[in-house]
Amino acid sequence: MIVVISERATDAEVETLIKGIEARGVSAREIVGEEKRVFGLVGDVASIDAEALMRNDAVENVIRVSEPYKLSGRHFHPIDSVVEIAGPGGAEPVRVGAGNFLVAAGPCSVESEEQVLKIAQDVKRSGAGMLRGGAFKPRSSPYSFQGLGLDGLELLKIASRKTGLPILTEIMSPEYLSDFERDVDVIQVGARNMQNFTLLREVGRLGKPVLLKRGPSSTIEEMLMAADYLLMAGKAQVILCERGIRTFETATRNTLDLSAVPVLKKRSHLPVMVDPSHGTGYWDLVEPMALAAAAAGADGLVIEVHDQPSCALCDGQQSITPMVFDALMRRIERVRAAIME
């Protein structure tokens, strides 16, 4: 971090500023130039709040030279991480990252035992490695279906036991942490909660695999800082998920930022999955963007599948049928083989 001193600053003000910085265990080395006084900060600058420094009258500018995220960054962890996900009742674990490709598929929301079980069996047959399904649903309207809550979690467990697929489902409140700790294999922190820092810290403490979805208006840097909140307790295994961001474009529900895949892979060691269902909002756009995500180097996909999309209680317009999913899985295999040649 480089601090450029204001021309109006007095020596006494600069001295107070530098003392404040060094009190945080960071050393400040002066670089004397022709026109400007500049200090290079050396040490663990994570504890220095660049915005607070900017508000100091003695400071003209603050330039960051290293990333504000650490634990999720490649700098301190150059090797790709693999997240290992335990299956139900001693089933073989599944893996994602470092060449392990994982597809999580299932309905947007758990609606009934029959529905979630049938879809789970279908997607398993087609090669999905994990069952997705919302029990607690973050809905824009308070009048929309909010999910079955803990009953939905019970239905996911039945489908998981009968198919051997691990469960991926979203947590919305710390109130249910112990239920998720006991019953869920991968805890999803949804896009709307990506910067719910209290929730991130609490989920991180459980030490379970977490799928962190990118906030609709979040930068990649903000996403990696959110991942650091999860990793701080030193236990969680984090999977990042690009699911589209909000732009001026209205032809799609969100703008799926596929360039986030190689950018995240360059900056972070964590596995990266892509959700083309929420990323586009339309079922017929799911396949091309899923294939493109695989081609871009994603470590996996999260796809909404429903046996009767027109009757779905949530996100039917972006859900593909089990038949379309099956054909998609064959094409994904071909794309993956092509990029590995």
For ligand PEP, the binding residues (CB under 6 A) are: 108, 134, 138, 170, 190-192, 213, 243, 275, 278
Of 37 and 208, the one with the shorter C-beta distance to ligand PEP is: 208
Binding to Mn ion, residues 297-326 (CB under 5 A): 315
Of 62 and 258, the one with the shorter C-beta distance to ligand PEP is: 258
From Mn ion, ligand PEP, none, interface partner of 191 (C-beta below 5 to 8 A by class):
ligand PEP
User: Residue by residue, what is the 3-state secondary structure of the chain?
Assistant: CEEEECCCCCHHHHHHHHHHHHCCCCEEEEEECCCCEEEEEECCHHHCCHHHHHCCCCEEEEECCCCCCCCCECCCCCCCCCEEECCHHHCCCEEEECCECEEEEECCECCCHHHHHHHHHHHHHCCCCEEECECCCCCCCCCCCCCCCHHHHHHHHHHHHHHCCCEEEEECCHHHHHHHHHHCCEEEECHHHCCCHHHHHHHHHHCCEEEEECCCCCCHHHHHHHHHHHHCCCCCEEEEEECCECCCCCCCCCECCCCHHHHHHHHECCCEEECHHHHHCCHHHHHHHHHHHHHCCCCEEEEEECCCHHHCCCCHHHCECHHHHHHHHHHHHHHHHHHHC
Minimum gap (Å) between residue 309 Cβ and ligand PEP: 15
Of 28 and 123, the one with the shorter C-beta distance to Mn ion is: 123
Minimum gap (Å) between residue 72 Cβ and ligand PEP: 19
Q: Is 275 in the site for Mn ion (CB under 5 A)?
A: no
Residue nearest to Mn ion (CB): 108
From ligand PEP, Mn ion, none, interface partner of 257 (C-beta below 5 to 8 A by class):
none
Q: CB under 5 A: which stretch of 100-108, 150-158, 197-205, 243-251 binds Mn ion? A: 100-108
Minimum gap (Å) between residue 272 Cβ and ligand PEP: 14
Q: CB under 5 A: which stretch of 48-56, 101-109, 197-205, 231-239 binds Mn ion? A: 101-109
d(CA 23, CA 189) in angstroms, rounded, equals 36
Minimum gap (Å) between residue 311 Cβ and Mn ion: 15
Of 122 and 315, the one with the shorter C-beta distance to Mn ion is: 315
Minimum gap (Å) between residue 286 Cβ and Mn ion: 12
Residue choice 28, 41, 58, 108 for contact with Mn ion (CB under 5 A): 108
Minimum gap (Å) between residue 320 Cβ and Mn ion: 12
Residue ranges that bind Mn ion, judged by CB under 5 A: 108, 315
